[in-house]
Structure 1
C-alpha cells in the first residue's frame, strides 16, 4: 500500500493555513466522506449538488488523517491535520498527481477538447498509435483502455483521483502514450489540473452544456482554459475553420498549430469525394481514401493526422494507417438490414450542431430515391434551449421524423417532447410524429422505411442504458435496431 507524508503531497498546492501534524502518512485520497477511513485525506469539494464541507465531521469521525478544505470547521480534532486552501478541487488534483507519482509526466499525453468530435479524435489517435506499435492508453466517453484492456467509463473525464490512478496503471503497464477527452466540466472542476500534456487538440465549439456553465462565454472560457494551461513544451492544435479556433490559442504558451479544409494552416486537406463508402481527401499533397464518412469526419481525420505528425510520426505511414480505421462506437455507426436493404445509422448526436452534421452528411451521400427517417430525442435535466432547435433541424432535413425519449432523467419525457415540438414549423408538422417509448419509436421508423431507405437513430450512440427517474435500465440503440430489423425483415 502506498503511503506518503502529507507535506509531500502539498508541494504544488497553495496552502493558506495548516493545523495539526504535517508528516501524517497518507494512504489514499477521497472526495466522498463515505469512503473516509484511517490514513485517508478527505477533500471537501463544493459541488453543484452538495457541499463536501458538510461532511467534514463525518470524515473525521471515521478516522480520516487529513482534511483539505476551503473553510475550517469551528471544532477541530487535534489528531487530524487540517489544510486550508483557496480551491479544494485544484488542491485535490495536485495531490492526486503527486500521490500517484505524476504519471502524466511519464507519458506523451494528448488531450482533445471541443463540443463535437472528441471521442472520435481520441479513439482514432489511440488506434493509430497502437497500429504504429506503441503501448497506448485511452480515456473517453465510450470507454477507457490500457492497451487492449477495456475499463468502463462513467464520465467523459474522470475525477482527479481516478484519472491519475488510471494514468498510473497505464505507466505500470508499459504505456508510452495516452489519448484523452477533456470535457469543459473537467477543466472548470480542475479534474485535469496538475497533468502534464504533450499536446492539445481543439475540434469545434457549438451550443452545449449551458445548463452547467450558464453562458456560452463561460463555456468558451472553460475550453480555452485547457489551452491556457498547456506548457510551452506542448503543441496546441486548433481548427482554423471554427471561428473560436484562434481564440483557443490567444493565451497559450504552447506551440501553436492549425488545421483547415478551407484556408491556410499547418495541416491542410481538400475534400475530393464524400460517398457512402467513405471520404476521398487530399492531405498535404497526398490523395487518400478513408473509410469514415462525412465532412465532420474529414476534420477529425485531419486533426488526428496533424497530432501524429506533431508527435514525430511519418506522415505517409500515418495516412496509410488512418485510411483503414473505422469510427468510434456509436459515431455514425451503420447497421444494414440486408433483407429489405434498409440502412440504419446510430449516432451520438445530442447537440444541434452534431445532429445537423449527421443529417447533412446523409443528405450528401443518399440517392434522391432514398428516404431519410430520423428518430431523435433530448436528454432531461440538461440544456433545454437546444430542444426545439434539434426538432426543427430533424424536421427540415429528414423526410419523416419521430420524436421520442432520450434519457429523461428526472424530467417528464412528455414535457421534453412538447418543448421539441415547439420547434417544428407548420410546414414540417405533417411529417413529424411523437412516440414517447424509444423502442416503439425505432420500430415505427423501421416500419416506415422502404427498400434502400435510411433510418437514423440519434442521441444516445454508444450508451447501453436509458435513465429514467434515477434508474438506468438496459437500452442499446444499436442492439434494439438490429433486433427490430431481424423481427420485421425476415
Structure 2
C-alpha cells in the first residue's frame, strides 16, 4: 500500500495529477480499520452455502481467509485447492493461527480440533460467503464490470473519471491500483480474490461510494472470484489472443469472458444493461446470451454508439460521435484507433448512467491518462518515447499502428515475452514486431523460472532469415532500452512495450525493482538539459 509520500510512479505529483493528490489528502483508513464490520457472524448464516453441522451453527466467526499466512483468531479458513498447491496442506498453520473452522471441497476424512465444513464447489462457496459476511456490498453500489483482452484498464479509468466529474462518488478496481474513496491501494492482480473483493467493496460503501468501475479478468471469471458480486453493467472491449496457457484456446477464453454477461440477470437490482463492441467477432454470441438491454458501439452505421468521424491534429483528435441519433463532439489526446474505441465504450456507459452528453464531452479531454498505458516520456529529446503495457499480439500491433499514424520517422520497439506464460503468442508477437517496426529489439520480460533462450527461440520461430537478421536481440532489458535510445534519430518513435506500470522484473521467484519509465528517465537525463521531469501518461 502506498503511503502519503508515494505515488504509483514512485513520487507524488500534486501539480500534475490532482486526482491522485486529492485522494492522498483525504482521511485515510488504517490497515487495522479496513475490513472490520461489526462482531462477525454465526456459522449458521452460511448453512445454505456450506454444510454446517447443527452443533456448530452458533459458532461465531470474525473474519474470512484463504491464505494461512493471513489468518487471524476467529477466522473461517477456506482450504482452496489451487493450481500450484492445495489449501489443505496449510490447514494446520491456519489452526495454529486461530482459525475456528475451515471449508473444504467435499468431505475430508481428517481429525482436526476445528470443524471442517464441506462445500460442493469451494470457490463458489468462498465468493458467496464473502459477500454474505461483508453485507452484500455490491447490492449497495452501481457495479460496472469491464472485461476484454485489451483496453480494460483505460475504459475502467475513463468511466471512473467521467462519473467522478459528474459528481458521482466512484471507486475503481483494476490492474494499476484500487481507489476505495479514501486511499489508493496497490493491486496484486487485475481482479482481487473473492474475499479481498468483497472487503474492498464494503470499504467503498463505508466511504460513501455510489458506483464502482471494475476490471474483470477472464481468470477471475473462470475461478469465480466475482461470484457473489451483482453487476449493473457489463462492458466488453475486445477478445483476442491471450492467456492461452490458462484457457488453452480461443473458445475456452471466450466462454470465460461470457460469464460476466451470462450472469447479468434481469432480476435483482433494476436497470441492468450490457455494452458490447459491435465489431468484435464475439458480438453475435454475447448479444444472443444477454438477458438485459444491449448497447453496442463501433464505426458502422448499425452501432447505437457510433464513431462518425475523426479529425486529427498534431497530438489531439476531435471525435464526432452519434448516440442513438444524438450527435456529440469530443476532443481527446489519447492516441490510436484502439483508444477511440475505448472512449466509445466509456461514453456509452456514462451516457447510460445518466451523465449528460455536454458533461461527458467536457470530462474526456481532462482525462489524466493511466500510468504505463501509452505513457509518454519527455526529456527534451528530438524523438518521441512511449511506455505501454502491450504484452499480447493485438496490443503490440495496435501500438505500432498508432506510432505509424503519429510518426514521421522510424518506429523502434523494445519488447519481450513473459516466461511460463502463453507460448503460442510468442511467435505471433515476434512476427508483428519485425513486420511493423523499422527497428525491433527483443529483450527479457518477467522470466520466472523459464530459460530465456527458450523464450527467444519461441519468439523467432517462423521468422525468415531476413527477418531474423533485422531483429536485434539484447537479453538485458536496461541495455535494450539504451540501445533503442542510441539508435533513435529526430522524428523517430521509440516504444518500450510489455511492462507498462509494473515496477519489477521477475527472475525465478525474486522480484527485482525495475521500471521502464524510470530507466528511460535516467538514460535520457544523461544527455538531457534540464534534468528529466517526472513522466505522466500522454496528455
Matched with 1:3 is 40
Match of 2:367 among 325, 343, 362: 325
Once residues 116 and 385 of structure 2 are traced to their aligned partners in structure 1, the CA distance between those partners, rounded to angstroms, is 57
User: Partners in 2 of 1:354 and 1:37 — Cα distance?
Assistant: 42
Question: What secondary structure is seen at the aligned counterpart in 2 of 1:323?
Answer: helix
Counterparts of 1:74 and 1:416 in 2: how far apart (Å)? 44
Alignment pair present for 1:307 and 2:342: no
TM-superposition CA deviations, 1:49-94 (whole Å, max 9, x none) = 01223333543455422221123221344x6333221111110101
Alpha-carbon deviation of 1:46?
A: 1.7
* 2:308 is the counterpart of 1:270: yes
Partner of 2:400: 359
Among 288, 295, 302, the alignment partner of 2:337 is 295
Partner of 2:172: 138
Secondary structure of the residue aligned to 1:424 is coil
* Pair 1:73 & 2:73 matched: no
CA spacing shift, 1:10–1:315, aligned 2, 3 Å: farther
- Give 2:219's aligned residue: 185
Alpha-carbon contact 1:279-1:298 (below 8 Å) kept? no
Query: 1:276: Cα distance to partner?
Result: 4.5
Distance 1:278 1:147, change over 3 A: farther
* Matched ranges for 1:13-162 at <5 A: 13=49, 15=50, 18=53, 20-60=55-95, 62-77=97-112, 80-147=114-181, 149-162=183-196
Which residue is equivalent to 2:15? none
Moved more, 256-265 or 421-430: 421-430
SS in structure 2 at match of 1:336: coil
Q: Distance in 2 between matches of 1:152 and 1:225?
A: 26
Note closer, same or farther for the CA distance 1:165–1:449 as it changes in structure 2 (3 Å cut).
Answer: same
- Aligned position for 1:461: 500
Deviations 1:182-213 (A, max 9, x none): 00010111110111111110000001111111
Distance 1:360 1:274, change over 3 A: farther
Counterparts of 1:315 and 1:55 in 2: how far apart (Å)?
54
* Structure 1 residues 134-185: Cα deviation after superposition (integer angstroms, max 9, x where no partner): 2211101001112362111110001111111111111111111111100001
| Alpha carbons 1:401, 1:431 under 8 Å: kept | yes
Separation in structure 2 between the aligned mates of residue 276 and residue 393 of structure 1, nearest angstrom: 26
Give the structure 1 partner of residue 17 of structure 2: none
Bigger mean CA offset, 112-121 vs 256-265: 256-265
Partner residue of 2:230 out of 196, 201, 223: 196
Look up the SS of the partner of 1:268 in the other structure: strand
Contact 1:292 1:326 survives alignment (8 Å): no
Residue 98 of structure 1: SS of its match in structure 2? helix
* Match among 382, 385, 391 for residue 350 of structure 1: 391
For residues 336 and 61 of structure 1, do their structure 2 counterparts lie closer, same or farther at Cα, with a shift above 3 Å needed? closer
Contact preservation (8 Å) 2:329, 2:361? no
Gaps of 5+ in 2: 1-37, 530-539
> In the alignment, is the contact (CA less than 8 A) between 2:449 and 2:507 conserved in 1?
yes
Paired residue secondary structure (2:418): coil
Given that 1:19 and 1:83 are in contact with CA atoms closer than 8 Å, whether structure 2 keeps it comes out as no
Runs of 5+ consecutive residues of structure 1 not aligned to the other structure = none
Q: 1:427 — aligned with what?
A: 466
Q: Is the 8 A contact 1:21 1:80 kept in 2?
A: no
1:295 Cα offset (Å): 0.7
The alpha carbon displacement at 1:9 in A equals 3.4
Mapped contact 1:291–1:324 kept (Cα < 8 A): no
Q: Return the alpha-carbon distance in structure 2 between the equivalents of residues 429 and 488 of structure 1.
A: 31
Task: Report Cα offsets for 1:114-146 as digits up to 9, x if no partner.
Answer: 000000001111111111112211101001112
Let me know the Cα RMSD of the aligned residues. 1.8
Equivalent-residue separation in structure 2 for 1:294 and 1:214 (angstroms): 30
Q: Distance in 2 between matches of 1:253 and 1:86?
A: 27
Aligned with residue 206 of structure 1, among 231, 235, 240: 240
CA distance in 2, matches of 1:292, 1:436: 31
* Structure 1 runs, 4 residues or longer, greater than 6 Å off: none
Mapped to 2, the partners of 1:396 and 1:2 lie a distance apart of: 61
Equivalent pair of 2:108/2:118 in contact (CA under 8 Å): no
Give the alignment partner of residue 252 of structure 1, picking from 290, 304, 313.
290
Using the alignment, how far apart are the partners of 1:58 and 1:483 within structure 2?
Answer: 45
More displaced, 256-265 or 389-398?
A: 256-265
Distance 1:132 1:177 in 2: 12
Q: Check the 8 A contact 2:328/2:357 in 1, yes or no.
A: no
Equivalent residue pairs, number: 484
Aligned-partner SS, 1:358: helix
C-alpha distance in 2 between matches for 1:61 and 1:300: 49
Alignment check: 8 A CA contact 2:417 2:455 kept: yes
Question: TM-score normalised to the size of structure 1?
Answer: 0.95
Query: Retained in 2: the 8 A contact 1:20–1:82?
Result: no
Task: Identify if the C-alpha distance between structure 1 residues 85 and 215 changes in structure 2 by more than 3 Å, giving closer, same or farther.
Answer: same
